[in-house]
Amino acid sequence: MRGQLRMPRTFIMDAPTVSLQLPLEQVTRSSGDAPLHYLEFHPQLAERAVLGLTDDGNAQITDTHALAEPVPVQPAASGVVAPWCLTLLSPRATLAQVRSVLSFIAAAGASVEAVDTLSRRRACTVLRFQVDGQLEFDKTRRACLELAERIGADLVLQAGDSQRPPSLAGFDMDSTLIDAEVIDELAKITGIGEQVAAITEAAMRGELDFRQSFKKRMRLLKGFPERELARIAPQLPIKPGAERLLRALRGLGCKTAILSGGFTYFAHYLQSERLPVDIVHANELEFADGALTGEVIEPIVDGARKRALLEEMATEMGLPLSRVIAVGDGANDIPMLSLGALGIAIHPKPKVRQEAPQSIDRFGLDAALYLFGLNDGQIAGLLDSD
């Protein structure tokens, strides 16, 4: 029965959209497909879900009521009532994707307690499913990764009580806050770029011990001219969404730290010129007569030290680890990603994607804000107020 899809229409993102009200189970039993802009389900307020679909005539849904106006996005920073949150982040959300997620939750023996639309921007729809059930986190998380690949979206599982802004956030720098590995950039100048990049890539994939690979790369860079640092720093590209995420965290009162296996020179440059970061921990470069000596200065900031530094900062600030998050992409980030409330891998290496508690592949760093329970209106308010 398609009649309801031809009822009064509204226009969202320049597309004709119908707002439908129906039991949530009916979405699972529907057939066909259509772009989806929002889905709201709050049984304590109403028994039926409300969703907005593009009126392209391909979706077949029965037992619906058409609404004359689209529903607003719910204020989602409060009201998490379930022990789990499963967040769908899609560059092109569809009814079929939602149907897959609902079927996945049911197959896990869990139930949907609420659904919130956190974003319905063009090329970014974010739906938060509040889920109740006895889920084994690691097994379910890995199953989410497989489903995400099949439906072409990101699907992130987290504890319901972690859906809140953090008080301390630790960030990797290279390939996380910046779209480069600085040590590889130095090597390019000395003509050994491919050789050093191969070692870096193997270390980030977890195939080489970070400390040993770092010492090996530094020896290869012996003689690098110190004067080149000032030329390289302004050219480092910032990762998409990094500035928005850090500005929003500052607006939330969250302290932020760079915890990098890279170099303090570049981390301090980012802190002073490009990004609102509070604290920096990275490796020191040793120069003599204006050139790198090829030696390292201990302690090297490797994966274990990143975790230890983040834990030390939390202790100094009097924060429980439940108020701490970490963000990274490489194998040497895994220890700190498993420390606090959230460990978010952004565009991670395959090994990291499999081991990190949370993973975002298709969006920039600012997508992490949705995992704190914020919607687009609240994020805009934070950015406007800084």
In order along its 386 residues, the chain shows pLDDT tens digits of 333 333 334 444 445 678 888 889 888 888 889 899 999 999 888 888 998 888 665 666 665 555 545 555 444 444 788 999 999 999 999 999 999 999 999 999 999 999 999 999 889 999 999 999 999 999 999 999 999 999 999 999 999 999 999 999 999 999 999 999 999 999 999 999 999 999 988 888 888 889 999 999 999 999 999 999 999 999 999 999 999 999 999 999 999 999 999 999 999 999 999 999 999 999 999 999 999 999 999 999 999 999 999 999 999 999 999 999 999 999 999 999 999 999 999 999 899 999 999 999 999 999 999 999 999 999 999 998 76
Task: Give residue 352's domain range.
Answer: 168-385
For residue 329, the surrounding DSSP H or E stretch is none
Same domain, 234 and 359: yes
- Cα(67)–Cα(383) distance, integer angstroms: 33
Question: Hey, how many other C-beta atoms are within 10 angstroms of the C-beta on 235?
Answer: 8
Predicted pLDDT at 303: 96
Note if the pTM is more than 0.95. no
Residue 280 backbone phi and psi in degrees, to 5: -130, 130
DSSP conformation letters of 72-134: PPP--SS---SSEEEEEEESS-BHHHHHHHHHHHHHTT-EEEEEEEEEEETTEEEEEEEEES-
Q: From the candidates 55, 116, 154, 172, give the one annotated as an active-site residue.
A: 172
Per-residue model confidence (pLDDT) at position 64: 58
Active site residue 116: no
- Are 53 and 91 found together in one domain? yes
Same-domain pairing of 238 and 355: yes
From 154, 174, 366, 376, active-site residue? 174
Q: Are residues 146 and 176 in the same domain?
A: no
pLDDT of residue 54: 82
My answer on whether 50 and 186 are in the same domain is no
Look up the CATH number of the domain holding residue 50: 3.30.70.260
Q: Kindly tell me the burial class for residue 227, based on how many C-beta atoms sit within 10 Å of its own C-beta (0-12, 13-18, 19 or more).
A: exposed
Sheet arrangement for strand 84-90: 111-121, 124-132, 84-90, 154-159
The predicted pLDDT at position 69 comes to 54
Q: Are residues 25 and 128 in the same domain?
A: yes
How would you label 34-64 residue by residue, b for 16+ Cβ within 10 Å and e otherwise?
A: bbbbbbbbbeeeeebbbbbbbbeebbebeeb
Residues 131 and 184 occupy one common structural domain? no
pLDDT in tens, 23-70: 898 888 888 898 999 999 998 888 889 988 886 656 666 655 555 455
Q: What is the DSSP string of 21-74?
A: EE-HHHHHH-BS--BEEEEEB-TTT-SSEEEEEE--S--B--S-EEESSPPPPP
Under 8 Å between Cβ of 98 and 36 = yes
Are 75 and 175 in a shared domain?
A: no
pLDDT score recorded for residue 272: 97
Q: How far is CA 263 from CA 188, 284, 364, in A?
A: 16, 6, 23
Residue 212 neighbours by CB under 8 Å, 6+ apart: none
Taking only the tens place, the pLDDT of each residue in 364-384 is 999 999 999 999 999 999 998
Query: CA 30, 36, 41 angle in degrees (round to 5)?
Result: 75
Q: Could you tell me the CATH number of the domain that includes residue 380?
A: 3.40.50.1000
What pLDDT is recorded for position 55?
66
66: number of Cβ within 10 Å: 15
Tell me, yes or no, whether 119 and 87 share the same domain: yes
Q: What are phi and psi of 298, to 5 degrees?
A: -80, 155
Distance CA 50, CA 67 (A): 9
Residues 158 and 183 occupy one common structural domain: no
Are 51 and 158 contained in the same domain? Answer: yes
**Average pLDDT over the chain, rounded to an integer:** 90
115 and 185 part of one domain? no
Structure tokens at 294: 């090829």
Q: Which two tokens stand for residue 248?
A: 């929003």
172 is catalytic: yes
Give the other-Cβ count within 10 Å of 119's Cβ. 24
Render pLDDT for 313-326 as a digit per residue (tens, 0 to 9): 999 999 999 999 99
pLDDT of residue 46: 82
Query: What are the strands, taking DSSP E only, across the chain?
Result: 10-12, 15-22, 36-40, 49-54, 65-67, 84-90, 111-121, 124-132, 154-159, 168-171, 255-263, 279-283, 287-288, 291-292, 324-328, 342-346, 358-360
Q: What is the pLDDT of residue 72?
A: 52
Q: How far is CA 177 from CA 23, 133, 278, 324, in A?
A: 43, 35, 14, 18
d(Cα 4, Cα 168) in Å, to the nearest integer? Answer: 48
Taking alpha carbons only, the member of 13, 12, 43 closest to residue 25 is 43
pLDDT at position 71: 53
Q: Which residues of 130-152 are buried (b: 16+ CB within 10 A; e: fewer)?
A: bbbbebeeeebbebbbebbeebe
Q: β-strands 65-67, 49-54: how paired? A: unpaired
